[in-house]
Chain A
Amino acid sequence: MRRNPRVAVALALGVLIALLSVLAPLLATHDPRATSPQAQLQSPSREHLLGTDLLGRDVYSRVLYGGRRTFGVALLTALITLGPGLLIGAMAGFAGGWIDTLLMTLLDALLAVPPLVLALALVTLLGSGSVQIAVAVGIAGIPPYGRVTRAAVLEARSRPFVEAARAIGARPAGILTRHILPTIAPTLLAFAGVTLSWAILNSAALIFLGFGGDISAPDWGVMLADGRQAFRTAPWVALAPGVALSATVLAINWLAESGARD
């Protein structure tokens, strides 16, 4: 395998971010929730490495702690999306016929319900919060992932070696797991990366629209939404979590894509 500089960068980035998040309590200089209104919107200084936000909270500490929440939410969302999505898509693509039709109908129906409506219903039933947003975004992500999986399975199914396997009487489940899935793994993994990115961004969007729960908790999505208010006088308030978020998504994508190749 050709060594890919991207893998190295992504790995390094991922590890760095993970480490910073885990070590947050040690590395933080202030309590991430401690407000200090007189010290609002200060530019980065020795006391506040990344400045302060509108309520005088230390941005650096909040970014450190924020990673945990973001990872947690992203992971939960990914689980909810990838598991069912993969299963349904693979079944539909492989089995074909009425199973395919039924599953696709269900998926399309879910897709047609706007995430906003879904989120509102979930927030009602379960209260507002990061977990609820994760669930809403996760469920909303199942149809796209299912569809892409199905498309990939369909494409792989018609390949010569699959035909060959069938011809020699291999069992369908075996064909699926041993031949098809490994072949389409790159595409699926790449889309998993995309899905994860969407998850993080859609969560941020729902927070922006007001469905977020604990608003004082350090959370990159919340910080980004809040940071817009003062972005011209205090750009660091949103820049810091923005860079963190982008770096995380970047790392996830590159890892997913290169992990696919090996």
Chain B
Amino acid sequence: MANERKRGRGPLRLGVLGVLLIGCLLLTAIVGALALGDDDDTTPDAGNMIVYGLTLNPSGFDPHIHQSSELGIPFYSLYDTLVYRHPQTMEFVPGLAERWEMAEDGLSWTFNLKQNVRFHDGTAFNAAAVAANLDRIMDPDLGSQKARVLLDAYTGYEIVDPYTITLRLSQPYAPLLDVLSQVYLGIASPAALQANTNNSYQWHQVGTGPYKLDEFVPGSFIRLVRNEEYDWGPVFYAPVTDGSLDTIEFRFYIDPATRSLALESGELQVVGELLPTDAELLAGNVEVTVYQVPVPGTPQQFFFNTRHAPLDNVTVRQALIYGTNRTEIIDAVYQGRSPIAHGPLTSTVLHYDPEVEAMYPFDLDQARALLASQGLQDLDNNGILEFEGEPLELTMVFSSWNQMPDVAQLIQSQWRELGIDVELIQVPDFPSLRQRVRDDDYDVIAFYDFSVEPSLLNRFYLSGAVNNWSGLSDPQLDQTLYEAMRQTDPAARATLYSAAQQRIMEQAVVLPIREYVNLVGVSSDLDGVVFSAQGWWPLLRNFQYSG
């Protein structure tokens, strides 16, 4: 017995707990080694530095290829565009192009480019560079998701001389300048494009902008450093001062609840898309300032599926819009920090028509009356209207972004007052959302996008458009939208877009909820916090430490 015991104890002479202790110490040592090795991400001499929080990790960061507006947050300042929109006046101002001119027939635009502009890698900017970029975007092998789609009527270019380039169009195309002012058409160094494959370029981007890419570790951080040679910026870019930023590090803060915590702990200096309740909380904190930045485009909205009865009846749809108390929704979910949306475009979009604001005031009685007028009644007195003998139930589909689930739940309660049951379906991601569209498995669905240019409407309201999820097919509206895209006279465009917005609301295919407002938390010792005309993208050039 005693022998057995001694043999059994062999290597475990220290006792079980002893072994465990050693094991743990070993583990700690390994962990320590690993963790310390992680230290190669430190910046040597950062100067004036901020950490900027990105709120989602988009599928890709190449502006020519990918479509997420998030990528513009770092990269808008890495590139210059041919033209810029002035963030206050919304007018087009020179960027890489000093002047431009549209031909009489509207089928071509000629751009005179700035000289003495250099890319971050030292190569020269010229017409050939612009041409190389356009070639790249239009190359089917690139698989451009947005830039190419935006270029639409563009057919080709002609290099007139080293600093002049003409762009040709298949038809007059009013949105061209707006397209050229977006980060997706940022001009990249042809040398850098050549040195990388289509897919590897995004980790090694080279532009002409006020900041250049220092390091990009996918999923971890993006570091930009100031371009000392930059002096060809648009007129609204501020001059460099002692407080200007030398280094900007972007990290990914996907969980909304911890964004404000990171701001307060000082780990972050800027982060957008704060939760409205957090914004309320931070209002009392002197170390953080909350900016409310409107983002133009469509409002946060729901489309009605006009292919499904009873939503094929315009009066029923109108009733639903009358019966939705948007003020209540905005106060509760967004803490009142957004304007109500009344039409298919937000008030900061070009050619917004304020007439839509009077079209559907919140009116429960009107809503009920309209529904009754269409034969929808509660015959069995259970509180739900009957439609074709069945209780009326609508399926509402949405994803989890921007507090839409809370909005949906409130609408469910509100429409219950009208006698309509709503089934809420939250989908976890965009492909799932799109699948429901393909399966035509929804009555009401949430979808929206952003742009300063009202031609955004085409994507949602043209008959047969890819993102026309309401199923609207209105030849008159189609005509108007096509015309408006071709028309280059602003006054004429304004009239056409007014007609379009009113027509869309008359057809009641969309339920606008609120205008998107980005709640950006910024450390209070930062000044010059300005965002581009497109709303999402910070003008990092202008940010500076005060005092």
The answer to whether A43 has its CB under 8 Å from any CB of chain B is: no
Q: C-beta contact mask, B389-411 vs A, less than 8 Å → 1, else 0?
A: 00000000001100001101110
Q: Assess the B280–A233 pair: CB atoms within 8 A.
A: yes
In the complex, chain B residues whose CB is within 8 Å of the CB of A124: 432
In the complex, chain B residues whose CB is within 8 Å of the CB of A233: 277, 280-281
**Alpha-carbon separation in the docked complex, A120 to B427 (Å):** 11
The answer to whether A55 has its CB under 8 Å from any CB of chain B is: yes
Give the residue of A38, A54, A228 whose beta carbon is less than 8 angstroms from that of B257.
A228
Interface residue ranges of B269-292 to A (CB < 8 Å):
275, 277-278, 280-281
The answer to whether B424 has its CB under 8 Å from any CB of chain A is: yes
Q: Assess the A229–B332 pair: CB atoms within 8 A.
A: no
Nearest-neighbor residue (CB-CB) of B257 within chain A:
A228
Give the residue of A40, A211, A215 whose beta carbon is less than 8 angstroms from that of B405.
A215
Q: Assess the A229–B277 pair: CB atoms within 8 A.
A: yes
The answer to whether B57 has its CB under 8 Å from any CB of chain A is: no
Nearest-neighbor residue (CB-CB) of A232 within chain B:
B281
A249 to B: closest C-beta gap in Å: 23
Nearest-neighbor residue (CB-CB) of A230 within chain B:
B277
Nearest-neighbor residue (CB-CB) of B398 within chain A:
A215
A229 touching B275 in the complex, CB below 8 Å, given contacts A128-B425, A212-B426: yes
Q: Assess the A37–B428 pair: CB atoms within 8 A.
A: no
The answer to whether A35 has its CB under 8 Å from any CB of chain B is: yes
**Alpha-carbon separation in the docked complex, A235 to B167 (Å):** 59
The answer to whether B495 has its CB under 8 Å from any CB of chain A is: no
Q: C-beta contact mask, A119-143 vs B, less than 8 Å → 1, else 0?
A: 0100110001000000000000000
**Alpha-carbon separation in the docked complex, A211 to B399 (Å):** 10
**Residue among B277, B333, B400 with the highest chain A CB neighbour number at 10 A:** B277
**Alpha-carbon separation in the docked complex, A233 to B257 (Å):** 12
The answer to whether A144 has its CB under 8 Å from any CB of chain B is: no
**Residue among A55, A120, A128 with the highest chain B CB neighbour number at 10 A:** A55
The answer to whether A216 has its CB under 8 Å from any CB of chain B is: yes
In the complex, chain A residues whose CB is within 8 Å of the CB of B243: none
Q: C-beta contact mask, B407-430 vs A, less than 8 Å → 1, else 0?
A: 011101100000000001111110
Give the residue of A33, A209, A231 whose beta carbon is less than 8 angstroms from that of B428.
A209
Nearest-neighbor residue (CB-CB) of A123 within chain B:
B428
Q: Assess the A37–B332 pair: CB atoms within 8 A.
A: yes
**Alpha-carbon separation in the docked complex, A232 to B280 (Å):** 11
A40 to B: closest C-beta gap in Å: 5
Q: C-beta contact mask, A158-174 vs B, less than 8 Å → 1, else 0?
A: 00000000000000000
Q: Assess the B333–A54 pair: CB atoms within 8 A.
A: yes
Q: Assess the B410–A229 pair: CB atoms within 8 A.
A: no
B494 to A: closest C-beta gap in Å: 37
Q: C-beta contact mask, B509-539 vs A, less than 8 Å → 1, else 0?
A: 0000000000000000000000000000000
Q: Assess the A54–B428 pair: CB atoms within 8 A.
A: no
Give the residue of A54, A209, A212, A213 whose beta carbon is less than 8 angstroms from that of B332.
A54
Nearest-neighbor residue (CB-CB) of B422 within chain A:
A216
In the complex, chain B residues whose CB is within 8 Å of the CB of A55: 332-333, 406, 409-410, 413
A229 touching B331 in the complex, CB below 8 Å, given contacts A215-B405, A215-B409: no
Nearest-neighbor residue (CB-CB) of A37 within chain B:
B332
The answer to whether A56 has its CB under 8 Å from any CB of chain B is: yes
The answer to whether B341 has its CB under 8 Å from any CB of chain A is: no
The answer to whether B256 has its CB under 8 Å from any CB of chain A is: yes
Q: Assess the B409–A211 pair: CB atoms within 8 A.
A: no
A128 to B: closest C-beta gap in Å: 7
In the complex, chain A residues whose CB is within 8 Å of the CB of B405: 215
Q: Assess the A35–B410 pair: CB atoms within 8 A.
A: yes
B324 to A: closest C-beta gap in Å: 13
The answer to whether B97 has its CB under 8 Å from any CB of chain A is: no
Interface residue ranges of A44-85 to B (CB < 8 Å):
54-56
Nearest-neighbor residue (CB-CB) of B264 within chain A:
A232
Q: Assess the B426–A34 pair: CB atoms within 8 A.
A: no
**Alpha-carbon separation in the docked complex, A35 to B406 (Å):** 11
The answer to whether B96 has its CB under 8 Å from any CB of chain A is: no
The answer to whether B329 has its CB under 8 Å from any CB of chain A is: yes
A219 to B: closest C-beta gap in Å: 13
Interface residue ranges of B424-446 to A (CB < 8 Å):
424-429, 432
The answer to whether A210 has its CB under 8 Å from any CB of chain B is: yes
In the complex, chain B residues whose CB is within 8 Å of the CB of A35: 409-410, 413
The answer to whether A108 has its CB under 8 Å from any CB of chain B is: no
In the complex, chain A residues whose CB is within 8 Å of the CB of B432: 124
Interface residue ranges of A230-257 to B (CB < 8 Å):
230-233
In the complex, chain B residues whose CB is within 8 Å of the CB of A213: 426
Give the residue of B256, B277, B399, B425 whose beta carbon is less than 8 angstroms from that of A54.
B277
The answer to whether A214 has its CB under 8 Å from any CB of chain B is: yes
**Alpha-carbon separation in the docked complex, A43 to B260 (Å):** 22
In the complex, chain A residues whose CB is within 8 Å of the CB of B333: 54-55
Q: Assess the B428–A40 pair: CB atoms within 8 A.
A: no
Give the residue of A54, A210, A230 whose beta carbon is less than 8 angstroms from that of B426.
A210
In the complex, chain A residues whose CB is within 8 Å of the CB of B278: 232
A77 to B: closest C-beta gap in Å: 20
Nearest-neighbor residue (CB-CB) of B427 within chain A:
A128
**Alpha-carbon separation in the docked complex, A124 to B409 (Å):** 23
In the complex, chain B residues whose CB is within 8 Å of the CB of A54: 277, 332-333, 406
A17 to B: closest C-beta gap in Å: 26
**Alpha-carbon separation in the docked complex, A35 to B428 (Å):** 24
**Alpha-carbon separation in the docked complex, A226 to B331 (Å):** 18
Q: Assess the B426–A128 pair: CB atoms within 8 A.
A: yes
Q: Assess the B332–A56 pair: CB atoms within 8 A.
A: yes
Q: Assess the A231–B406 pair: CB atoms within 8 A.
A: no
Give the residue of A37, A214, A228, A229 whose beta carbon is less than 8 angstroms from that of B424.
A214
**Alpha-carbon separation in the docked complex, A216 to B275 (Å):** 20
**Alpha-carbon separation in the docked complex, A35 to B410 (Å):** 7
In the complex, chain A residues whose CB is within 8 Å of the CB of B410: 35, 37, 55
In the complex, chain A residues whose CB is within 8 Å of the CB of B275: 229
The answer to whether B328 has its CB under 8 Å from any CB of chain A is: yes
Q: Assess the A128–B281 pair: CB atoms within 8 A.
A: no
In the complex, chain B residues whose CB is within 8 Å of the CB of A123: 428
Nearest-neighbor residue (CB-CB) of B405 within chain A:
A215
* Pairs across A and B, CB under 8 Å, 15 listed: A35-B410, A37-B328, A37-B331, A40-B332, A41-B277, A55-B332, A56-B332, A128-B428, A210-B399, A210-B428, A215-B426, A228-B257, A229-B275, A229-B277, A233-B281
* Across the A-B interface, the 6 shortest Cβ-Cβ residue pairs: A37-B332, A210-B428, A35-B413, A228-B257, A230-B277, A216-B409
Instruction: Identify 17 new A-B residue pairs, CB closer than 8 A, beyond the known A55-B410, A128-B425.
Output: A37-B331, A37-B410, A38-B332, A40-B332, A41-B277, A54-B277, A55-B332, A56-B332, A209-B428, A215-B405, A215-B424, A216-B409, A216-B412, A229-B277, A231-B257, A232-B278, A232-B281
Chain B interface residues toward A at CB < 8 A? 256-257, 275, 277-278, 280-281, 328-329, 331-333, 399-400, 405-406, 408-410, 412-413, 424-429, 432
